[in-house]
Amino acid sequence: MAGWASISQIKEKIAEKSAEEVTASYLERIKKSKINAYTTVCEGAIEKAQEIDDKGHNGPLAGIPIAIKDNISTKGIYTTCSSKILQGYVPPYDAHIVERLKDAGAIILGKTNMDEFAMGTSTESSFYGPTLNPWDKERVPGGSSGGSAAVVAAGEAPVSIGSDTGGSVRCPAAFCGVVGLKPTYGTISRYGLISYANSLEQIGPLATCVSDIATLMDIIAGYDSRDSTSVKTEMVYKDALVDDVSGMKIGVPEEYFGEGIDPAVENAVWDAIQFFEELGASWEQTSLPHTSYALAAYYIIAMSEASSNLARFDGTRYGYRSEGDNWHVMASRTRAEGFGPEVKRRILLGTYALSAGYHDKYYLKALKVRTLVKKDFDIAFKKFDCLMTPTMPTPAFRIGEKVEDPLALYLADVNTVPINLAGVPSISLPCGFTDGLPIGLQIIGKHFDETTILKAAYSFEQNTDHHTRRPQEMA
Amino acid sequence: MMVYDNPDGVKIGLEIHVQLNKLNTKLFCACSTDYHNSEPNTHVCPVCLGLPGSLPVLNRRAVEFAMKVGLALNCEIVEQTQFHRKNYYYPDLPKGFQITQYDFPIASNGKVVIDGEDGEHIIRIKRAHMEEDPGKLMHIGSIEKSKGTLINYNRSGMALIEIVTEPDMRSPKEARRFLDKLRSIMEYLDVFDGDLEGAMRVDANISVMGGERVEVKNISSHKGVEKAALYEIMRQKNFVRRGGKVVLETRHFDELRGVTLSMRSKEEEHDYRYFPEPDLVPLRVADKVPEIIKTLPELPDAKRKRFKTQYGMADMHAKALTSDIKVANFYEEVAQLVDPKAAAVWVADILKGELNYRDISVDAFKVEDMAEIIRFVSSGNITERSGVEIIRTILDKGGDPASIVKEKGLVKVEENIVTKAVDETLEENPEALQDYLRGKEKSLNFLVGQVMKKTAGRSDAKTAREMLLDKIKKLSPK
């Protein structure tokens, strides 16, 4: 019963059998999993499903199993950010989106593996070890929401929730051949999302199809008074599911097809863009001239914010705690033992970038670059309805291939980070394969114009069959 | 006019943390601020505990309170709020950073007038900014003997306003006067209750003779600031006299021993790595200023002026009556009921003294009781001394003026009783009378004393004396 399925397919199964049986089948499948995509599995999910069977539930996700990234606070369920330092931490509260999902009747199957504190592009920096790509277990699933993408691709959950600070939903969506949306900054409350880089990140849904993305957005998006950066919108995402791109103006920024792009990726993306033309849209090449500075600015801002966000993990109140004769020794040891190397690298770099004497040279300059990057998009969107690019310059790389070379890993984010700097929405969806590995098409929209990119993605999906391919074991 | 020449070149600047404890909730969450009598860690939530994933939401009323404070200190108000993170590690700081204001404080460039060494003296206010209070470290027994450190986060996230002055105070006394004035203003604004523990904490920057400044941290009382400054001035002067050079440093004030002790030199200061708090959005406040100005109450200086003109009282009384808003309000209510001038003397000179002596608030006394006592005295029914006694009795044991007068028999005795006592005294003490008539003035005091004794103190000395003299005049008309 479990496996690659859409929400509506699951609903049929629930109607046919029961929520309990559906949930049980997923838990069974997770048990047999070889991809290490969950950090915590909720055995209690069965009872929740039984409750829905017994009492009934008229929520839009009644009985639908879902997986949640391990950096989103879940009351009574371990939330560790795949870090040793949060080992054993059981939050006393639910994130805003978890409340909404529960209200809608969703059943939380478990927490998904990720790069430690969402810092990475491969899910290899997890304290629990890497998640394997369901399409090729030698390869990474992408990151940092690697677990969330992999469980959907492997049929271990029909839908999942990730978070995207610099591509962390879209990258694994591309590498795992699923759909992933990074909404406009402010669309989904971050209350309960454990911060890595507050000014950049958004929670985002992952699914096997665009329609499920819209369904999830209608549940999790919306104003929350507990997040001062959340915005009031009256959007109905389901309304965007229209198979019609006629007259749509697509911009294709040349900078996103730069050095290091895999030719197969380039071809697949161009094929997709040309296909949009067949569907009635028009495209034109364009330029986002400050793109080449975006990566550096992104990492400085993200690391600076991270260095401060992660200061609270000192062993005093929760999570892992080391020993020491006094507090300072205890806290230092806790952090030395609790954080992995990539997290430490980013804390150190961020601390450096904010230090007196360097603050203006790095942090302040990065903020200026950010403004310029944003302006690039503003200008482009005066002319175009959306922009299309490869999500990732390459297909999924091999596990271990870039572990020793952080810079190479950072470079992989080149096409995703400018979107977070600008705060605009962007979706990644499958647009082809190379050597059996999925390729992701990125569609970028204007601020709060998820409608256009969902419409484009939906139309593409309705007229192609890339999204119907499954990893071998799934077939 | 006398001019204070500040012989030691003393400069004192203050940084005062004032808890906006009249708010119902904390600065960034909905936790109650009413924690003073609660068990530790019961007024906490994911936000003020800094639990992973929690986010701050700015308390709008706290911003209004801060604006009131800024305006009362004659400051300019910033266009829009901007918060920064001040990064440092300490166990009482649950997020590893404090949310505070940095280059855009809510208020700046103000001034406060105090009664200085040589009359009115202006203390410039550099800035006033909002920030959150950390938790509180606690020890079982003394810090040395305690097995460990306990942390109480009830205080964590309380709204503070930090007021920074220019180094305009020229003596410890002026520093204390400034703090008294500040507290008075805060209480007038009804944003602050100074009686609560830890409500006001002061760092004092002190220098002498153009030397470097020394910062004395975390002094918890106005008296403490005065004492610390006195000690520090003496220490720095002696140090310079012995050929030393004062360097920038941070010292700690040992309240018990009344001395300051070095904590660290300024070179060891933290780099706080300030950067804008990404979880809070700017709040435009400039447009709200006119509205807030309308809500400002009459402040101490204005009230003092009005009391003088409206009630015709001395400046000394006006000052004493207006330093505490509660006393001022109490006075005005009493002044509605009885002669305002008499009321000024009674409240400022007598009641306030008795309250201060007992360290209790004017809330403990009823307006009606004060008015009744004044009425009793001015109608001649009781003596002034009895009036004071009634106040003391009410404060110490309770009761109301009329029944205390009855119980204690304080009604002034009939004149014929005094007359009788005078007659008896003169009869019983012929020698003293003779002594007085021979010019020995002291004898009269003896006779007055005797009369008082016979009336059991119910007559006052003035009356007894007058009646004695009358009688003596009649006995020996010369």
The CATH number linked to A180 is 3.90.1300.10
Q: Is residue A328 part of a domain?
A: no
B95: which chain A residues are within 8 Å (Cβ-Cβ)?
A: 311-312
Determine, yes or no, domain membership for B6.
no
In a domain, A452, yes or no: yes
Asked if B448 and B381 sit in the same domain, the reply is no
- Assess if residue A343 is contained within a domain: no
Q: Name the one residue in this structure whose structure tokens are 């030719």.
A: A263
pLDDT number for residue B457: 65
> Are residues B398 and B420 both part of a single domain?
no
Q: Are residues B307 and B252 located together in one domain of the fold?
A: no
The residue segments making up the domain with residue B402 are 298-408
Q: Is residue B2 part of a domain?
A: no
Which among B292, B321, B352 is the end of a domain?
B292
Query: Does residue B113 sit in the same domain as residue B251?
Result: yes
- CATH number of domain containing B434: 1.10.10.410
Q: Are residues B175 and B197 in the same domain?
A: yes
Instruction: Catalytic residue, from A73, A83, A125, A168: name it.
Output: A168
A138 belongs to a structural domain = yes
Residues of A whose CB is below 8 A from B85: 308
CB nearest A199 (choices: B87, B94, B278): B278
pLDDT at B269: 65
Residue B460 shares a structural domain with residue B324: no
- The reported pLDDT for the residue numbered B266 is 62
Does the annotation count A137 as an active-site position?
no
Interface of A with B in 346-375 (CB under 8 A): 351, 354-356, 359, 363
Residue B3 lies in a domain: no
Q: Is residue A26 part of a domain?
A: yes
Domain boundary among B292, B310, B331: B292
Q: Which residues of A touch B56 (CB under 8 A)?
A: 228
Domain identity same for B428 and B360: no
Q: Does B146 touch chain A (CB under 8 A)?
A: no
Among A194, A327, A328, the residue with its CB nearest the CB of B53 is A194
Same domain, B318 and B462: no
Q: Is residue B281 part of a domain?
A: yes
Q: Is residue B395 part of a domain?
A: yes
Do B366 and B404 fall into the same domain?
yes
* Number of domains into which chain A is organized: 1
- Is residue B292 predicted with pLDDT exceeding 90? yes
Same domain, B234 and B85: yes
Q: How many domains does chain B have?
A: 3
Q: How far is A199 from chain B (nearest CA, A)?
A: 5
Residue B368 belongs to a domain: yes
Q: Same structural domain for residues B398 and B321?
A: yes
Cα→Cα distances A152→A14, A106, A141, A202, A207, Å: 18, 15, 11, 19, 6
Domain limit, last residue, from B292, B326, B350: B292
Residue B123 lies in a domain: yes
Residue B89 lies in a domain: yes
Element (DSSP H or E) covering residue B428 = helix B415-428
The CA distances from residue B363 to A318, B188, B297, B390, in Å, are 45, 15, 20, 17
> pLDDT (tens digit, 0 to 9) for every residue of chain A, 475 residues total?
778 899 999 999 999 999 999 999 999 999 999 999 999 999 999 999 999 999 999 999 999 999 999 999 999 999 999 999 999 999 999 999 999 999 999 999 999 999 999 999 999 999 999 999 999 999 999 999 999 999 999 999 999 999 999 999 999 999 999 999 999 999 999 999 999 999 999 999 999 999 999 999 999 999 999 999 999 988 999 999 999 999 999 999 999 998 889 999 999 999 999 999 999 999 999 999 999 999 999 999 999 999 999 999 999 999 999 999 999 999 999 999 999 999 999 999 999 999 999 999 999 999 999 999 999 999 999 999 999 999 999 999 999 998 888 888 888 999 999 999 999 999 999 999 999 999 999 999 999 999 999 999 999 999 999 988 999 865 4
Q: What's the domain range around A25?
A: 7-251+382-474
Nearest-10 crossing angle of helices B461-475, B415-428? 60
Contacts of B412 (CB under 8 A, 6+ apart): B380, B381, B382, B383, B458, B459, B460, B463
Residues B427 and B373 in one domain: no
Question: Does residue A90 form part of some domain?
Answer: yes
In a domain, A93, yes or no: yes
Is residue A346 included in any domain, yes or no? no
